[in-house]
Amino acid sequence: MENELPLIAIPFDKLPSKGLPYPESAKIEYRTYTFGETKMESASSGSSVRAVKRALNCITTTGMERGNITILDLFYLGVLIKMSSEGASEFNMPYMCWKCGYEGEHKFSQGDLDFKDMDESIEELPMKVVMSDEKELHFAPMTAQQYIDLYSGKFNETFPKNKPDEVAPVATLIKNLKGYANAYNYLVNMTNPEDGELINEIDKMLMHEIKPLTLKCPNTLENESVCNADLSLKLEGREALLKPFRTRETSIKSRIFYGNAPQHNTKRVRPDGVSTGSGTE
């Protein structure tokens, strides 16, 4: 799609992966969603593959394939794209307290986002590991293209139940076995328990994501005390891509009540300083 929307470059050290999976000279830039894309975004019927493709469509890369962006970086870029598209500096994340049931909205800005980095012992990618059968395997994070392939059904014949199982995403981490099915079958047929532990460890080491936003429930209870329950709001993942931060329809409440309209809490109003339009202030 051709458009004149300006591109915003993202420095590698500002990505969850710190750019480790990419060539040093490469460049990643993103643009905001167009009006049409924003509309589709809020009306999203929930296909994560479609949301990933839509976010990827806003990204321009130099010196590397766009599809080679890690899916976890893309989830983060998707949040940035959405933030810049909404033209506001603060965002609201609706939540419901697990302890007292209070429904609130947590305000956050880009600066509040923090990452869980890949394991600091990883100096470069891929990680090379010799398995107990002497086979050398190379590991790197799942890319956006692999995510699209995996969840759009491209490899479904590989799986016993014809859809991705728990091993499926792990198999995308193996980069040096030709063909996805080979990587999957290798993992499924491993017999040495130590190999299994090793793979789990590698999976963990390669993880890089946005840390959940944490807060204490501010609700005042009937006995005048404050609930104070620890809440953790996860921004990461397909939910973050699919869910608009500020649109009422997708608040938790609307997910819980089906059919009849909820009878309670109709007085809640949008906090000051947050517009429903294209920007604030």
Give contact residues for Zn ion (rule: CB under 5 A). Answer: 97, 99-100, 102, 217, 219, 227, 229
Q: 12: burial class by Cβ within 10 Å (0-12, 13-18, 19+)?
A: middle
Phi, psi dihedrals of residue 158, rounded to the nearest 5°: -70, -30
User: What span, in angstroms and rounded, lies between the C-alpha atoms of 231 and 60?
Assistant: 36
Nearer to Zn ion, 212 or 244 (CB): 212
Rounded to a whole number of angstroms, the minimum distance from the CB of residue 22 to Zn ion is 42
User: What span, in angstroms and rounded, lies between the C-alpha atoms of 53 and 201?
Assistant: 29
Phi-psi bin for 134: left (phi > 0), alpha (psi -120 to 50), beta?
left
Rounded to a whole number of angstroms, the minimum distance from the CB of residue 219 to Zn ion is 5
Q: 271: burial class by Cβ within 10 Å (0-12, 13-18, 19+)?
A: exposed
Q: How far apart are the first and last CA of the chain?
A: 31
Nearer to Zn ion, 103 or 149 (CB): 103
Rounded to a whole number of angstroms, the minimum distance from the CB of residue 95 to Zn ion is 10
Nearer to Zn ion, 102 or 115 (CB): 102
Contact 79, 210 (CB under 8 A): yes
Rounded to a whole number of angstroms, the minimum distance from the CB of residue 215 to Zn ion is 10
Nearer to Zn ion, 197 or 230 (CB): 230
Nearer to Zn ion, 15 or 217 (CB): 217
The helix (H) or strand (E) run that includes residue 204 is: helix 193-206
Rounded to a whole number of angstroms, the minimum distance from the CB of residue 97 to Zn ion is 3
Nearer to Zn ion, 204 or 216 (CB): 216
DSSP strand pairing (209-210 vs 115-116): antiparallel
Rounded to a whole number of angstroms, the minimum distance from the CB of residue 109 to Zn ion is 23
**DSSP classification of residue 143:** B
